[in-house]
Every structure is written in C-alpha cells, then in structure tokens.
Amino acid sequence: MGRFLVFLLILLNAFAPFDAAAERTQDDAIRGALAAFNARDDSPFVYDALGRTLDPQHGGVVYLAPVSRETGEPYPGVIDWLAVLPRDGGWVALLPGVPGYRAALEGLPAEVAARLNDSRYRPEADPSLVASSALAGYQLPWEGGQWATVTRSFRQHGRGRIDFDVGGGGEVTAAKAGRIVYANDTNSANTYDSGAWWRWNVVIIEHGEHEYSLYGHLAPGSISGWIADACGDDYSQSNCDLSVEAGDVIALEGSTGYSSSPHLHVEFGQGYGVIGYASAPGVVSYGGYIYAEHNVGFSGYAPPEVAAWAYGRLVQALNQPARLNAELVVNGQFDDGTAAWTPSGQVSWAVHDGVMRFLRLNTADPPAWASFYQNLDVGAPANSLFELGFSLGSDAPYAKTVSVTLQNAAGREYGALTCAYTLGANTPLQPFVMRAQTADTWANLRLEFSVNPPDSQPAALVDDVSVRLVGNRAAVEVECESPSDL
C-alpha cells in the first residue's frame, strides 16, 4: 500500500494535472514536470527536451524525446508533447497520460495551435531505400466489395498516416503481403481524454526491407486467432514472425488508445519500434509504432491522389482485380445461348444462330429501360484502362440506339462509362471498339447492353463481345470507336 501511495504522489507531480499548484513561470513549470518524471524509477525512459513552441501569454508545447534508460538512445520517431498552460496567474505543464491532457491542447488559441509542428525532430523517409513501384502496390485494407469513409488523408493527418471509418467494427485486412512482426490487442481502454496514444492495439507488417505498415486502434481481443496463436505474449519487442497475404483478415476496427471514435488508423514507414510507458506500480504498457513515414498508393490510386482525398470520400476495396489482357466475358460469342447473361427491364431477348437479338417493349410500365448484362466477377483498380470489343447491328427498318456500359456492379451511381451507338435501318453486324478508364476502384465490373426506342419492332443485334484490361492512365475517360474509325 505504501509503495502505491509513493507512486501516486510521483505520478501527480510528474504530470502536473489541472488541480496542481501553478508555477511562477513557464520555465519553472517545465523544469518541475520533467524533473518529477525523470526521477521516477519505474519508467523505462527519461524525457529529453528538444525544442518548444511557446507563446508568452498563452503557452504552447515543449517537444520531448523519450530516451531509453537501458541503452541511453532515443526511441526513433517518438516525440511527445508537454502542454504548457496559464493557470491562476501562473503556469502548469502536463504530460500525455493524465485526464484533461487533450482538453489542455485543444484549449490553446488557434494562432498558437497552428504553429505546433514537431516534424523537424522526426526522422524522414529516405526515398532511395524503397522503390516507388513498391509504394504503389498496396490495396485498401478492408474486405473486398465493402466501402469505407476517409476521415483524414495523408495531407490532413501527416505523411504516411491515413484514417478510415470502416463501419464501426469492420474487418481489417492486410494491405500487402509480408511478414507480421508485432501484434498486440491486450489494451481495452480508450484514452482520448488523456492522450495516452501508446494504449492502442496494433498489428505491424514488414513488406520488405525498409517497408512497414501499421494498423491501429484495433478492437480489444480482435486479432485473428491464427495470428494470436503464432505470436508471443512479450509485447515489449517484436513478438511475431508470421507470413500474411494481402486481403487476409488480421483484426477488427476499434477505438483503443488516443481515438475520438471507432476508426482504422493505417500508417506506412521505413522503420518500426515498441515503447513502454509506466501505467501503474510495476506495470508497463507497450505500444508499437511506425517512423520515417512515406505515402503509398492504393489499388491504382497514386500516392498524390490518396494524399488529396477529402474528408467524407467513399472508397471501395477490391480483393480480386482483373488480370492484364485476360478475357473477362463468359459466353461472349453466345454459343451457349443466354448463359451467363441476365435480362433487365422491359426487354425481349433471344439468341438465334449465335447472335443476341434484343429489343425494348413498347410499354409505359416501369422500369423505363431494356437491357441485358453480365457481372464479370473481377474488380478494377482505379485508373484501369479496359478495351471492349463487340459487333452491333439492327434488323429494324429505322434507327435504333444501342448503349454499351461498363460500370461498378454496386450501381451506376458509383461509376459508369457509356458509349451510345446509333445504328441505321437494317444495319448488318459490324465491329465496334470502346475504351474506358475507371476513375475509382470498382470491386466488381458489370457489362451492360441497352436499346432504345421502346418499339417492340425487329431487334438490335449483338455478337463477339470481349472485355480486357489493357493498361492504365489513358488520356481520355471514354473512347467510342465506330467501324469507320477502325
């Protein structure tokens, strides 16, 4: 009991909470807080002051590096902020980990908060260490076909750091194949009020030399069993050596640690570490982290595009992208009749002699379209260029319009690329080509043919349908080529 009281007194002095007596000057408050903390023998580290952003009237922040008692070396990439605030005609200084810490920082005037920046004290990524092609090879880290909302992009959150709302407890997946080197889901507390960032649950994956990803704020006890079974329970150091594939479920979204609400924090960098903070007598809480951060691209989005994502943007993950130059259409010659195709709307359709014949019924009944389509069962990374080939014709004595659409199977509102071809009276089958580039990720592609007007007259003709992924980043979004262009 006596040992606990001594610890409590030291803790109160070290963190200078709001009800502590104010010091006469800013420097007195800073020196007092650091001296009290560094006198503790239960902390694995001491603090070294690196610099400050302080206003003489309103206070600010002192930037601190934790230095290991054992090695005498700082923990690379870890910079804690000592909040310095006026109180009762004097000054108080608060370290992260005590109630009211977040409120103290948020209470700083906007002009002071805008100047806070510790980037000069953090190691920067060396672009020569990791190929740019490697940084473009990540996929969005949740279940394919599902959507997530961007809450902070690289530009808003800082280099290599991005936040997503995955639906409040959604599955988190590995963004790239690699080797899990650290996993910890033993923390159960949300420490948003105290700023104890290290109390989060994380998984860290090594993807290659100088290439790591971190998944943070994970739900307590949610790390997948196959990972938990293979990793040790010494959280003070690397505790895993386990292969993982892109798209493997690793945990569930949560709100542990310094988190305002459930979300997935993902971070990318050239190094990782583990640091321990004393949280109770004889108890040290360990947190994994990433440093030397670098921006990455996801599923066809280049790193600058990801950095520019606005708050609230919806993005869709895909785990089964189309293969380059592979034929994606099944039964595009209609040798098996209508197999693999689905009718939609007010359509009359049939296959005769290996040719699809379809028309729109002349009716005012809803729905107001006539089409047939095929879900291609593969997805499209952002900025994917597809080439579509097909033959079109018409048996009608007047013009018909056939529209060909490549779209996100989740719905046209999530992306659709269309070419409309007007076919004259009694047009024989002729080859057409369409090129279409997806601006966003589509988890499943749909190819659809529709016809107008609603006439119940002789049909439009379709044959020789083909869709292939041929590249990325075309000059135009859609190109519609007619026989005269070929």
- How far is residue 146's CA from residue 165's CA, in Å, rounded to a whole number? 11
Contact criterion met (CB below 8 Å) for 201 and 251? yes
Q: How many CA atoms lie within 13 A of 484 on its CB side?
A: 2
pLDDT tens string 224-256:
999 999 999 999 999 999 999 999 999 999 999
Whether 112 and 138 share a structural domain: no
pLDDT tens string 259-307:
999 999 999 999 999 999 998 778 999 999 999 999 999 999 999 999 9
Query: What residue numbers bound the domain in which 475 lies?
Result: 342-485
Q: What is the pTM of this model?
A: 0.91
| 6 alpha carbon, distance to own chain's centre | 45
Domain count for the chain, please give it: 3
pLDDT given at position 21: 53
Whether 157 and 277 share a structural domain: yes
Whether 166 and 297 share a structural domain: yes
Ramachandran angles phi, psi of 365, nearest 5°: -70, 145
Going by the DSSP 8-state scheme, the letter that residue 234 receives in this structure is -
Closest to 186 in 3D by CA, of 249, 235, 229, 225: 235
Residue 360: which CATH number? 2.60.120.260
- Whether 184 is covered by a domain: the verdict is yes
- Whether 334 is covered by a domain: the verdict is no
Closest to 58 in 3D by CA, of 118, 101, 106, 121: 106
- Whether 336 is covered by a domain: the verdict is no
Whether 141 and 103 share a structural domain: no
User: Given CA atoms 436, 441, 445, 447 in this order, what sign does their dihedral have?
Assistant: negative
Whether 75 and 156 share a structural domain: no
Q: What crossing angle do the helices spanning 2-15 and 26-38 adopt, rounded to 10°?
A: 150
- Whether 337 is covered by a domain: the verdict is no
Whether 117 and 140 share a structural domain: no
Place of tokens 């650290």: 182
Q: Based on DSSP, count helices (H) and strands (E) in the chain, helices before strands.
A: 8, 26
- Whether 321 is covered by a domain: the verdict is no
Q: How many CA atoms lie within 13 A of 478 on its CB side?
A: 11
pLDDT given at position 282: 80
- How far is residue 17's CA from residue 101's CA, in Å, rounded to a whole number? 8
Contact criterion met (CB below 8 Å) for 144 and 120? no
Q: Which of 282, 316, 350 is the last residue of a domain?
A: 316
| 235 alpha carbon, distance to own chain's centre | 26
- Whether 330 is covered by a domain: the verdict is no
pLDDT given at position 185: 98
Place of tokens 């057409």: 432
Closest to 215 in 3D by CA, of 189, 242, 176: 176
Q: Are strands 478-481 and 400-408 parallel, antiparallel or unpaired?
A: unpaired
Residue 230: which CATH number? 2.70.70.10
Q: Which of 121, 143, 158 is the last residue of a domain?
A: 121
- Whether 247 is covered by a domain: the verdict is yes
Whether 159 and 292 share a structural domain: yes
Closest to 211 in 3D by CA, of 155, 303, 294, 121: 294
Whether 403 and 461 share a structural domain: yes
pLDDT given at position 22: 65
pLDDT tens string 445-476:
999 999 999 998 899 999 999 999 999 877 77
Whether 349 and 479 share a structural domain: yes
Whether 382 and 416 share a structural domain: yes
Whether 189 and 268 share a structural domain: yes
Whether 255 and 215 share a structural domain: yes
pLDDT given at position 290: 97
Which residues, given as ranges, of the chain have pLDDT below 70? 1-22, 486
- Whether 326 is covered by a domain: the verdict is no
